[in-house]
Structures are given as structure tokens and as C-alpha cells.
A and B are shown apart, each in its own frame.
Chain A
Amino acid sequence: NAGVMQNPRHLVRRRGQEARLRCSPMKGHSHVYWYRQLPEEGLKFMVYLQKENIIDESGMPKERFSAEFPKEGPSILRIQQVVRGDSAAYFCASSPLGVWEETQYFGPGTRLLVL
């Protein structure tokens, strides 16, 4: 049973470019969460999605960031016009039902470096 998949594992972008991060949840999981981890810090919630729906985006920056989880294919976290402060590890987690008592399983993360 494959775990949560994320790609790319490492991404280098220059300031002003776009970054697209992909997440394929575990088989049978239809709930996806994105978290950001700055160096030496804990993980900060960004957004929670179900297939074709954004459930909670309270942690998403108001500008330049967007997320989607289409009916087919992986969840995408998109960062437009990246800045150096966007450099971080971005982790995706998935769960089967999205209920409060469920465990979230994390992917290996995408390390984004903005030059």
C-alpha cells in the first residue's frame, strides 16, 4: 500500500517564477491537508481539501497561494511569483474520512528553495 506521494521532492525557483507542488494521497483517502514548515520551526496548517472542495483555507496566505484537489489526479499547491520567504518544506497529509479522530499520514515533502 503506497503511502502519500509528493513531487517534486526538491524544487528550485527564481524570484517571480511559479511553483507547483503535487500530492497524491494514500489509496482510499479523499482528504488532503497541506502544511508548511520553515527552517527550525513546526508545521503550520495551510489548507484542507476534499475532492473538488476546499474545506478550510484559514492558513493560506491571501495572495499568490492557491490549492486544488480535482476529481481526478493529485492535489496541487500553487505558488505564484515566489519570493525568498516562500523557501520552506511543504508537506501534504491525507486521511480517509476527514473526521476529527483520524490519523493524518504525511508525505515526504517538497523542499522549495527560492533564489
Chain B
Amino acid sequence: GQQVMQIPQYQHVQEGEDFTTYCNSSTTLSNIQWYKQRPGGHPVFLIQLVKSGEVKKQKRLTFQFGEAKKNSSLHITATQTTDVGTYFCAGRGSSNTGKLIFGQGTTLQVKP
């Protein structure tokens, strides 16, 4: 079945350093969404990418969707302690019913 792999599983950075998490799908995706989950919280929608090669920015966050629509990345510039949490990518296949296939997530810790 369709799988979405995400690396790294954990990342510890010093405040001010950059952070990147990568997402790879075993099949071509129709779109990909990114979520952030704080400890004890629920996934909060960040962004959706639909087009091949698409790049979107939200302040210090940059999201990319690969040309083949099988991989994606989230890059955070100059991390802050408020960026702490687990970042999940979630993909939709071209033929599924709308369910999201989540990656395992990358947990970001930021040292002040």
C-alpha cells in the first residue's frame, strides 16, 4: 500500500539555527499537506501543496513539493522556541477517497 516516509525522526537545534524535514512517498501524490502538533495537542493544518514543483512560504517556513510529486520538504529559517513540536506531512494518492497518509513526523526541539 501507499507509504509516506519522513526523516529525520528527531532534530535538536540551537535557537536561531535552521531546520528541515523531508517527506517521501512510495507513489505519486495528488497533493500533500503539512501539520504541526504540539505535545499533548492535535494536528494543526499549516499548508497544502498541489502543483508539481510548487513552493510556498509562510514567514520563516518554506514548503516545497517535488517535480515528480513524490517528495516534499519543510524548511524553517532561524528557529525559535515557539517552533517546538512535531511536524507531519500527509499525502493523498490520486485514486483514494480523500484519506490522508501521514508520515511518522519529525519532532523538533529548540534549545534557547
A interface vs B, CB < 8 Å? 31, 33, 35, 41-45, 48, 55-56, 58-59, 91, 93, 95, 98-109
Residue with the highest number of chain A CB atoms closer than 10 Å, among B33, B43, B100, B105: B43
Q: A42-B88, A100-B92 given as contacts; is B98 within 8 A of A95 (CB)?
A: yes
Q: A101-B31, A106-B44, A109-B42 given as contacts; is B104 within 8 A of A48 (CB)?
A: no
CA distance A33 to B43 in the complex (A): 13
B interface vs A, CB < 8 Å? 6, 30-31, 33, 35, 41-45, 48, 50, 88, 90, 92, 96-105
Residue with the highest number of chain A CB atoms closer than 10 Å, among B35, B88, B98, B102: B98
Choose from A35, A44, A98, A100 the contact partner of B31 (Cβ within 8 Å): A100
Whether A42 contacts B92 by the Cβ 8 Å rule is no
Whether A42 contacts B102 by the Cβ 8 Å rule is yes
CA distance A28 to B107 in the complex (A): 33
Instruction: Report B-chain residues with C-beta under 8 Å of the C-beta of A101.
Output: 30-31, 48, 50
Whether B45 contacts A100 by the Cβ 8 Å rule is no
Residue with the highest number of chain B CB atoms closer than 10 Å, among A42, A100, A107, A108: A42
Whether B98 contacts A103 by the Cβ 8 Å rule is no
A/B interface sample: 13 pairs, CB < 8 A: A42-B6, A42-B88, A43-B102, A45-B99, A45-B102, A56-B99, A91-B43, A98-B98, A104-B33, A105-B45, A106-B43, A106-B44, A109-B42
CA distance A93 to B44 in the complex (A): 11
CA distance A41 to B6 in the complex (A): 11
Choose from A43, A48, A104, A106 the contact partner of B97 (Cβ within 8 Å): A48
